[in-house]
Amino acid sequence: MLFSYPELATLAGIQGVVIYALASGLPLFIFAALGPIIRRKCPEGFVLTEWTRQRYGVVAALYLSFMTLVTLFLYMVAELSAIGQVVTALTGLDGLPVIIVECLITTIYTSLGGFRISFMTDNIQGAMVVGLIIVASIAIGVETKIDTSLIEPSGLTKPTLLGWQLLYILPVAILTNDFFLSSFWLRTFASKTDKDLWIGVSIAAGAIIVIITLVGCTGLIAAWAGLWPGNDPENPVPGSIAFFVLLEQLPNWVVGIVLIMSVTLSTAAFDSFQSAMVSTASNDLFRNRLNIWWIRGAVVLVIIPIVVIAIQAPSILQIFLISDLVSAATIPVLVIGLSDTCYWWRGLEVVVGGLGGIFTVFLFGTVYFGTALEGAQLILLQQGLYADGWGAFGAFVAAPVGGLLWGFSTLALRLVVQFAMAKVRGTRFDALDRPTSLEPTEYAAPGDGIEGETVSDSGVGKGAGKLV
C-alpha cells in the first residue's frame, strides 16, 4: 500500500488514485452478493473451495486449492517484503529482525486462538490504524508546503492513457483475485446473517477507499511539493518511494507513528493469511483428517522460504500481478456454476478454461511482442503494470476471455464425444438433461471427481443429473 498507491499517483495522477481506491474497495461487495448464494448451496462449507468440491468434484477443487495456496504464498511474500522495505526506508535499519518477530508473534497467537483471535486483533488493529491515519494526515497537512505553480505542469490533474487502461485492469485484477483469498471467504461464512455480512462489507469497503485514497495522495503531494522526481534529472527519485521522500520532511514522531501503522497493518494482514493457509490446507488437502498441529507446523516451515524470498526485495507489485493474472483466467469459468441454469457446466471446463486463459496470455504476448520469450514473460508481467503500450491491458483481456473460450470449447468437445459415445453404445444422450434437484444434499459425494452424479431421494444415482 505504501509503495504501489503513491507510485500510481505519480504516473496516473488524480485519475489513477481514484480508480485504484475504488477498485480496491468496491470488489468486496461481491462477497456480500455471492456469499449468501454460496452459503445456501454449501451450508457446511467455510471457504470457496468447499463449494467448488461439492459443485465440480475433487479435481476442480484441488486445482482451485492449489491456486489459492499459491496466491496466499505470494501475498505473504509481498507482505513481509513490504514491511521489511518500510522499516529500512523509515529507519535505515535492516528489516529482517522485524520480519522474524512478526512471523513469530502471529504464529503464536494464531496457533493458540485460530481465526477467532485473528478477528479480534483485526478489530483492535483497525481502530489503531484509523487513529494513526488521522494523526499522520494532520501532520502532513501542517508540515508539508505545496508549490501551487507545480500543479499544472505536473499533468497529474489530467486524464492519461494509463488511467483509462486501469479503469478496466484494476477492477478485473482485484475482483477476481479477491476470490482466491480464503481469509475473505472465512469472514463471509462466519457472518451471523446476510444483513450482518452487508454491513461488515460496507464498513470495510468504505474504510479501504478512504485509507487508500489518503495514502495514494501522498504521491501527488510529493510531486507538488517538489520532492518528486527531485532536482537531479540523471538520478530521479522513483515514484515507488514518493511516500517516504515526503516523510523525510516531517518530524521524527510522525515517522514513528507511520512505522507503527505499517507494522500494525502488516500484522493484521499476515495473521489472516496464515490462518487462511492453515484452513485451506487442512480442509481441502486432508479433509480435516490430519491433526491441525501438523498443518500448523507445515505452515511454519512454509514461512521459512517466504522470509528468504521476501528479504530479496522482489517487486511487490509484480508479485500481486502474477496472482492477478491467474485469478483473472480462473474465476470467470468457475462462477458460471453458481447459476442453476448452467447445470451442464463441469469441473473439466473449469480446469481447462483456467489453464487455457493463462496460455492465451502467452499467445497474445507472443503475437504482440513478436517472440515466444516475451510472450512467456508477459505471464509474469516483468515489464510491470505501468509500462508504455498495451501489453498489460491485453494480458488482462486475454486471461478471462481466453479462459471462457477454452472453457466453452471444452464443453462443446465433451458434448460431441458424449453424443458419439451414446450413438455407438445405443444409449440415450443425457448430458444436457436437467437434474431433478439442485439442492446440496442431493449432490454427488465430494470425492466422486469430475464425472460424478447426483443422487435421487431413493439413493439411486441418475446419469441425467450429472453436475460435478
90 vs 2: CA distance, rounded Å: 12
DSSP state letters, 79-125: HHHHHHHHHHHHHSS-SHHHHHHHHHHHHHHHHHHHHHHHHHHHHHH
pLDDT at site 142: 85
Q: Using an 8 Å Cβ cutoff, are 454 and 462 in contact?
A: yes
388 vs 157: CA distance, rounded Å: 19
pLDDT at site 382: 81
pLDDT at site 27: 95
Q: Using an 8 Å Cβ cutoff, are 10 and 228 in contact?
A: yes
389 vs 380: CA distance, rounded Å: 16
What residues in the chain have per-residue pLDDT under 50? 439-468
pLDDT at site 313: 64
The distance in angstroms from the start CA to the end CA of the chain is 39
Which helix (H) or strand (E) is 264 found in, with range? helix 252-280
Domains of the chain with CATH codes: 4-314 (1.20.1730.10), 324-432 (no CATH)
* Residue 229: cis peptide before it, omega within 30 degrees of 0: yes
Please give the model's pTM, rounded to 2 decimal places. Answer: 0.83
Eight-state DSSP code of residue 283 = I
The pair phi, psi for residue 462, each rounded to 5°, is: -120, 120
Secondary structure class of 323 (helix, strand, coil) = helix
Secondary structure class of 409 (helix, strand, coil) = helix
CA geometry: angle 67, 68, 70, nearest 5 deg: 65
447 vs 69: CA distance, rounded Å: 20
Q: Using an 8 Å Cβ cutoff, are 83 and 105 in contact?
A: no
Q: Which of 403, 319, 412 is nearest to 364 (CA)?
A: 403
User: Which three cell numbers, joined as nine digits, stand for 181?
Assistant: 483469498
Q: Which of 17, 420, 45, 2 is nearest to 245 (CA)?
A: 2
pLDDT at site 190: 86
Centre a 10 Å sphere on the Cβ of residue 206 and count the other Cβ atoms it contains. 12
